[in-house]
Amino acid sequence: MNEVLSKELDALQARMFYMNKKSDRIASLLKNKFYCVSFSEIFHNDYAHFWALKAADKIVEMKDLAGVESLYPAVEASTEDFTTLADMFEFLYGITIETKEAVQQTIEVAERFHEITIKVALEDFLVRLQKVIYSAYFLNKKSIQYDENIFLFDVQAPAWYVRIFDAM
């Protein structure tokens, strides 16, 4: 595997842990600031865990199958704060789209270095990521719809939330 691609995959894997950390922060805010106790547990166990337990492991597996060790770059702290659910889920949707773009960039690098197996694996990863993007989009739109009715959001979200843990 080309060294440039190896570094790109390490950066992409770090992005998955970044998403885990940001999602963990959102789960904490859901529970302790917005008092969405029911939904915070679902979100944490599904959305936040997806990034570390499924997505990051898929990237590591790609390198493992190529016989290349993975490095684990540092991930920045997560201290964001939001005044509304809508602001928080708009942020989540934005960083999820940025993650999609990071995957697309890595696909381009794999193609440039003729790493067809990695390219195909990343394209499959990207297709599966679409459910995650949809979930973030849906949370963003629903949080706007519920506006200030946080209690109703917490009570009803478990029924309409698009679960993603099985996406990978």
Please check whether residue 105 is in contact with residue 119, taking contact to mean a CB–CB distance below 8 angstroms: no
Compute CA 4 distance to the chain's CA centroid, rounded to the nearest angstrom: 23
Report pLDDT for 106.
Answer: 98
Q: The whole model's pTM is what?
A: 0.94
Report pLDDT for 43.
Answer: 96
34: left (phi over 0), alpha (psi -120 to 50) or beta: alpha
pLDDT tens column, 77-119: 999 999 999 999 999 999 999 999 999 999 999 999 999 999 9
Task: Round to whole Å and give the CA distance between 153 and 39.
Answer: 8
Please check whether residue 13 is in contact with residue 60, taking contact to mean a CB–CB distance below 8 angstroms: yes
Report pLDDT for 37.
Answer: 95
pLDDT of the chain along its 168 residues, tens only?
A: 899 999 999 999 999 999 999 999 999 999 999 999 999 999 999 999 999 999 999 999 999 999 999 998 889 899 999 999 999 999 999 999 999 999 999 999 999 999 999 999 999 999 999 999 999 999 999 999 998 899 999 999 999 888 887 887
Segments making up each domain of the chain, as ranges: 3-67+83-167
Report pLDDT for 52.
Answer: 92
Let me know if 161 is exposed, middle or buried by CB neighbors in 10 A (0-12, 13-18, 19+): middle
CATH number, domain 3-67+83-167: 1.20.1260
Task: Round to whole Å and give the CA distance between 43 and 30.
Answer: 9
